[in-house]
Structure 1
Amino acid sequence: MTAPQADPALQALLLPVADGTLAWPRDGALFLRARDGWPLHERPLPGLVCEQGFRPDALALERSGFDVREPDESKYPLVLVLPPRQRDEARALFAEALARLQPGGIVVASAANDAGAKSHEADLARIAGPLVSRSKHKCRVFWTQPGATGGDAALAAQWRTLDASRPIAGGRFTSRPGVFAWDRIDAASALLAEHLPADLRGHAADLGAGWGYLSMELLRRCPGITALDLFEAEARALELAQVNLAPFAQRAELEFHWHDVTTGLAQRFDAIVTNPPFHAQGNAARPDIGRRFIAVAAEALKPGGRLWLVANRHLPYESVLDASFGSARLVAQRDGFKVVEAVKAAHAAGHGTR
């Protein structure tokens, strides 16, 4: 594991196990929305199975030797949950946790006080009955009581589908709660799409593709694009992109990659579009992620290749654009966003094309 980082919600989540309030089951446990951190390494946790759809977190868990699996219907005596901020997604996750319990099993969840901890606790209590809860590290950890009455199984069944895929934008696209800009066309991406030039051509990539809006606009506006690779770290969003891009399958060669862009790209491209993330999973500001996206784009473009980028106007990307590209220009500014085109120097050392 890399150097320890503060993760109060994870620390609170393991507190009932750490102090002996709850015994670690011999048959292991399931950890939904799992992420690595030093609290997982303080004591043996035999049989821990992790499910995580966010690629950087999944890779960190694998590097630490944890068992990371695709979701299935296996049941466990203990299910650990770190609920997300989006409430429908969190409610669906609580219902999923209950459905994955063995008879007499326990669900333990934790959230920061400023990330909706009390609301999350109330939601779990609605479907599971009275909970035990504690406050620690500016978080709340709460867990179910086997055999407790007062839960609502019918409501839990309804909640399990709250994050299901559904039409948005008048039926033009498919999305689901919990992914970025899940119920709308993101204003920044729309601004970039509006300014995409029709002469982009060849093999293109969309970095941080989300549910696929920019990729669809790129193919719709740029007839010279013959192949398009979508890179997205969130598996739930990438699945949606595959659905949304299906009508374009005959229009261009499409590839979908569950990938952390910050680790670099092996392919080379003629054009790249991106609306890079600038927040971590915990919602902390991380402009370094966007800067890394730009540097990776520069590495992945062929000489003369073009990057089309949209970002919040205040984000300090100019230095990395100047350092990474032969030229960059501000194309448009509106509603707090900026669109930039950057061109890879034509005399740059070439790489093999795919």
Structure 2
Amino acid sequence: MTDTVLETLMLPLDEGMLGLSDGDKALFLRARMGRELRTIPAAVLTCEQSFAPDRDALDQAGYKVVAETDETGFSLVLALPTRQRQESRALLARAVKKAAAGGIVLACAPNTEGAKTAEADLDALAGLTGKLSKNKCRVFWATVSPGTINTALLDEWLQLDAPREILEGAYFSRPGIFAWDRIDAASKLLTDNLPETLAGKGADLGCGFAYLARTVLERAPGVAAMDLYEAEKRALDLAEQNLAAFKGKKVLNGIWSDVTKGIEGPYDFIVSNPPFHQTGKADRSDVGQAFIRTAAGGLRSGGTFYMVANRHLPYEATLNDVFGVVEMIADEGGYKVIRAIKRKGK
């Protein structure tokens, strides 16, 4: 299947408008795997990706992939701006910062996900030297030189997605992660319906900045340990900060992984607000269904799974397939909270 964003990103290289010379090195920020990436030799490319599924795909394809690189001086820096404006601007600023003098920053985004805005942002930051449109996407680039970089804007934008205190200092968060500046209504409904009798070893699947996990630890004194699973390392690092008060009091373990590939265990209980988007805006019920199956596999016999989801998402069939008892314990504000108990002897 063609990745139209990657295809469009590579267009200036495929058509010979841009290129790499011997000794050049390239960096791909927010990289993701696709056959279109083969335009750039793997030997010269460093991929930066903090999202575990994309990290794993790149690694399996033989690319050098890191969560974050300190290296600079790249002849070509590719970037995929995100829909979140602050994160996107910070990404473009990092791309300019990572490029060598005379190097190229090359970016692409779908028209429906802020391509025109991202193009204008790179122009304001470093001055565009080219652009193309195809596949309902825009690809645009800038040649990095001291004379064209807006240094004041560069310094400002580099800090736009930095970790910061939110909710009057209650948590640390940063733009770009899920519900970054608030308590998500679905997660709040789930915590409102969790019993204070939770005990033993638990897990939070897709922990975000650790609102769920911290609430469990604050309200359920019988919980001795929790594993926090999160695909986005930027969120997992924040979770560690937000659980600092429990360090040395509870056994806590942050795990940067793709939950759909399985978890450790066995656990006495699992809580989760599964994601229903990956890239793009379309609902992805398959991701939540994979979380459900993973939870069932990670629980001890008789263990309990608590999850919240948008009311319309079709999870009941999967829940009934892998759990012995399934019941909806809350239905409010467009969300449903479900408690499921693993069959004895399974």
TM-score by length of 2: 0.97
Partner of 1:7: 3
Whichever residue aligns with residue 157 of structure 1, its letter is D
Gaps of 5+ in 2: none
**Residue correspondence of structure 1 range 255-270 to structure 2 within 5 A:** 255-270=253-268
Runs of 4 or more above 3 Å deviation:
42-46, 146-151
User: Secondary structure at 2:75's aligned position in 1?
Assistant: strand
**1:72 deviation in Å?**
2.7
**Residue correspondence of structure 1 range 68-83 to structure 2 within 5 A:** 68-75=65-72, 76-83=74-81
**1:347 deviation in Å?**
2.7
Contact in 1 for aligned 2:42/2:62 (Cα 8 Å): no
Contact in 2 for aligned 1:229/1:254 (Cα 8 Å): yes
**CA distance in 2: counterparts of 1:330 and 1:274, whole angstroms:** 14
Partner of 1:306: 304
Moved more, 177-186 or 284-293: 284-293
Kindly provide the CA deviation profile for residues 84-132 of structure 1, in whole angstroms up to 9, marking residues without a partner as x.
1100001001110111011111100000011110000001111102331
**1:251 deviation in Å?**
3.0
**CA distance in 1: counterparts of 2:202 and 2:101, whole angstroms:** 51
**CA distance in 2: counterparts of 1:61 and 1:53, whole angstroms:** 12
User: Secondary structure at 2:6's aligned position in 1?
Assistant: helix
Partner of 2:294: 296
**Residue correspondence of structure 1 range 184-223 to structure 2 within 5 A:** 184-223=182-221
Question: Over the residues paired in the alignment, what is the CA RMSD in angstroms?
Answer: 1.3
Task: Indicate the percent of aligned positions where both proteins have the same amino acid.
Answer: 48
Moved more, 204-213 or 245-254: 245-254
Partner of 1:275: 273
Kindly provide the CA deviation profile for residues 16-61 of structure 1, in whole angstroms up to 9, marking residues without a partner as x.
1111110124322000000000101256354011000000000000
User: Secondary structure at 1:305's aligned position in 2?
Assistant: strand
**CA distance in 1: counterparts of 2:330 and 2:87, whole angstroms:** 35
* CA 125–42 in structure 1, closer or farther in 2 if over 3 Å, else same: closer
**1:147 deviation in Å?**
4.2
Partner of 1:22: 18
Moved more, 121-130 or 253-262: 121-130
Gaps of 5+ in 1: 349-354
Moved more, 222-231 or 43-52: 43-52
Kindly provide the CA deviation profile for residues 163-222 of structure 1, in whole angstroms up to 9, marking residues without a partner as x.
001111111111000000000000000000011001111000000001100000111111
Q: How many residues align?
A: 344
Contact in 2 for aligned 1:167/1:174 (Cα 8 Å): yes
Kindly provide the CA deviation profile for residues 227-270 of structure 1, in whole angstroms up to 9, marking residues without a partner as x.
00000000000000000011112331000000100001132100
**CA distance in 2: counterparts of 1:98 and 1:43, whole angstroms:** 19
Moved more, 259-268 or 280-289: 280-289
Match of 1:244 among 224, 242, 245: 242
Moved more, 320-329 or 139-148: 139-148
2:49 paired with 1:62: no
Contact in 1 for aligned 2:205/2:228 (Cα 8 Å): yes
Whichever residue aligns with residue 111 of structure 2, its letter is N
**Residue correspondence of structure 1 range 125-204 to structure 2 within 5 A:** 125-147=123-145, 149-204=147-202
**CA distance in 1: counterparts of 2:97 and 2:40, whole angstroms:** 27
**CA distance in 2: counterparts of 1:29 and 1:253, whole angstroms:** 41
User: Secondary structure at 2:168's aligned position in 1?
Assistant: helix
**CA distance in 1: counterparts of 2:116 and 2:147, whole angstroms:** 20
**1:148 deviation in Å?**
8.3
Partner of 1:351: none
Contact in 2 for aligned 1:298/1:344 (Cα 8 Å): yes
Contact in 1 for aligned 2:106/2:139 (Cα 8 Å): yes
Whichever residue aligns with residue 13 of structure 2, its letter is V
* CA 148–243 in structure 1, closer or farther in 2 if over 3 Å, else same: closer
**1:146 deviation in Å?**
4.6
Whichever residue aligns with residue 77 of structure 2, its letter is V
Contact in 2 for aligned 1:24/1:45 (Cα 8 Å): no
**1:282 deviation in Å?**
2.7
**CA distance in 1: counterparts of 2:28 and 2:86, whole angstroms:** 19
Kindly provide the CA deviation profile for residues 298-333 of structure 1, in whole angstroms up to 9, marking residues without a partner as x.
011001100011000111000011011110111001
**CA distance in 2: counterparts of 1:89 and 1:40, whole angstroms:** 23
User: Secondary structure at 1:183's aligned position in 2?
Assistant: coil
Contact in 2 for aligned 1:28/1:45 (Cα 8 Å): no
